[in-house]
Structure 1
Amino acid sequence: MLWIPFTLLAAFMQAWRNAFQKQLSLDVGVIGVTLARFIWASPLAALYLWGLYQWQPVAMPKFTGSVIGFIVAAALAQILATALMVRLFKLKNYAIGAGLAKSEAVLAAILGVLFFSEALNLLGWLGVALGGCAVFLLSGSSLRKLSMPVLLLGLGSGLAFALTSLWVRQASLVLDLPFPHGAAWVLLMVILLQTILLVLYLVVKDRITLQALWQRPKLTLLVSVCSCVGSIGWFTAMSLESVALVKTLGQVEVLFMLLISTFIFKEKLKQTDHLGLALIVLAAIAVMWA
């Protein structure tokens, strides 16, 4: 049951990371905000891995072709997912943008069963369905006011995040290291690759964005720290349990986001939020029992 506290930690830190990303997106472009998620996370992930080896030394990993393939795919998918979510922040308010991206739990369940040999029982599917309904209500969305660009960006971000999670889990399983070392190695490799790719792109295409990040060191550091701690939670939880269940429980992040949205960004909540929060609780209970 260790996947539960790791998931709750991840959801809490990701809610704060999204909030800091929203603030940073006011002054920095999409790629720059995406890079802020990774740029200081690499040394933190390396320090975390070093600490694990001091605590419990294990064998060094063997990076086979399949492991490398999963890591590269996960890194690219997460870059795309983050960029799409930052675009959402610029189109709608914080809760709607991040809420739509949480469609990843439903998409991860479907893709996991169809293509990744994951299995869910009836209670698990019920939890996923309840979580999907809750996210829709909590995001403040409605079919009448939800524009097609917002819907497509939200579903695209959710799909990319779902694929990221599924490929991360596969990499951790194929790496075949003891818990939690396998997840820590995958985390470090994914973050390193993402940082290198984005820095190289900005050096060649947009050095002004790099300067903008350099001029906002505190906010950039906050995004990276929250992202790294959150990713430790996600990667570890997904090495223990199916992605669908982890991501469904992780939808408590929406509760954290709504609280941040209300008290930090002064955005008003709607009456449907109460029903949405109740569904989140029911979904969380269902997936824990599943």
Structure 2
Amino acid sequence: MLWIPFTLFAALMQAWRNAFQKQLSQSLGATSVTLARFILAGPIAATYLWLLYRWQPQQPLPDFSVPFAGYIVGAALSQILATALMVRLFQLRNYAVGVGLAKSEAILAAVLGVFFFGTSLTLLGWLGVLLGGMAVWLLSGLHRAAGAVSPMTLLLGIGSGLAFALTSLWVREASLLLELPFPFSAAWVLLLVIGLQTLLLVGWLGLRDPASLVGLARRPGLTALVSLTSCLGSIGWFSAMSLESVALVKTLGQIEVLFTLLISAWYFRDKLARHDHLGLALIVIAAICVMWA
């Protein structure tokens, strides 16, 4: 059951990371804001792995394989794409609605996991996934904004959710391939994915838009907050997904929408509808279902 506290911690950190990314997106482009997520996360991930080996120095180093490298590259690229699409959502719609659209990830991860990754879910697990999707629809305000959501906004949201789902599934596969004890496999995958993402984005912006790097340098505090909360959240997600199926982890992680609403109201002073008790109840029921499953 250790995956449960890791997931809750990850959801809280991700909600704050999205909030800081929204602030940064007001003055910088989507690629720059995406880089902010990774630019300082590499040293944090390396320090985390180093501390693990200081704690248990007898643990072996991993043996890397070609399939493992493929999962790392796929996860790195899909997470960059997912983040860029989500940043674009922040620029188009209300913060909570944008996150709600991207949280289609849990349902997409369940479907892709069953059909393509050999994942099996019990009836209770499927019930939790579906209830979680309904809860996100209610809590994010998507049911109220359904008629006002443009096809482009819907496409960006589903695209972001699909890319995040593939990232999670490939991260879990890479972690399982290493055959290292918990949490070492997750820590290695985290460091390699973040390292590759940082190199790709710095290289791309250095060649195509060096002014964006200057823009990040001018917002060091906010950039550092995005990187820190992103890396801490990834530690939680990667650890949880090395212990439990992606669909169940991401369904429980939908409590992030509640955190998002609280941040949206308190931090951004967004105008939100009256507290939706049905949505909160569905989040709780979905969480209970996936924990029992």
Fold shared per TM-score above 0.5: yes
Secondary structure of 2:225's aligned partner = helix
1-side partners of 2:231 and 2:251: how far apart? 20
1:134 pairs with 2:135: yes
Moved more, 53-62 or 43-52: 53-62
Secondary structure of 1:251's aligned partner = helix
1-side partners of 2:275 and 2:266: how far apart? 18
TM-superposed deviation, 1:75: 0.2
Q: How does 1:5-16 map to 2 (within 5 A)?
A: 5-16=5-16
In the other structure, the counterpart of 2:75 is 74
1:27 pairs with 2:27: yes
1-side partners of 2:212 and 2:282: how far apart? 41
Deviations 1:15-56 (A, max 9, x none): 000000000001111000000000000000000000000111
Identity in percent:
70
Corresponding residue to 1:273 among 276, 284, 287: 276
Q: How does 1:157-236 map to 2 (within 5 A)?
A: 157-236=160-239
2-side partners of 1:229 and 1:274: how far apart? 30
Equivalent pairs counted in the alignment come to: 290
2-side partners of 1:146 and 1:215: how far apart? 34
Which residue identity does 2:78 align to in structure 1?
Answer: A
Q: Is the 8 A contact 1:137 1:272 kept in 2?
A: no
2-side partners of 1:207 and 1:271: how far apart? 44
Secondary structure of 1:250's aligned partner = helix
Structure 2: which 5+ residue stretches go unaligned? none
2-side partners of 1:213 and 1:280: how far apart? 36
In the other structure, the counterpart of 2:240 is 237
1-side partners of 2:275 and 2:147: how far apart? 15
TM-score, normalisation: structure 2: 0.98
Deviations 1:156-203 (A, max 9, x none): 000000000000000000011111000000000000000000000000
Deviations 1:214-259 (A, max 9, x none): 0000000000000000000000000000000000000000000000
Q: Is the 8 A contact 1:42 1:192 kept in 2?
A: yes
2-side partners of 1:65 and 1:147: how far apart? 41
Q: Is the 8 A contact 1:88 1:150 kept in 2?
A: yes
Q: Is the 8 A contact 1:133 1:279 kept in 2?
A: yes
TM-superposed deviation, 1:278: 1.2
RMSD over aligned CA atoms reads 0.8
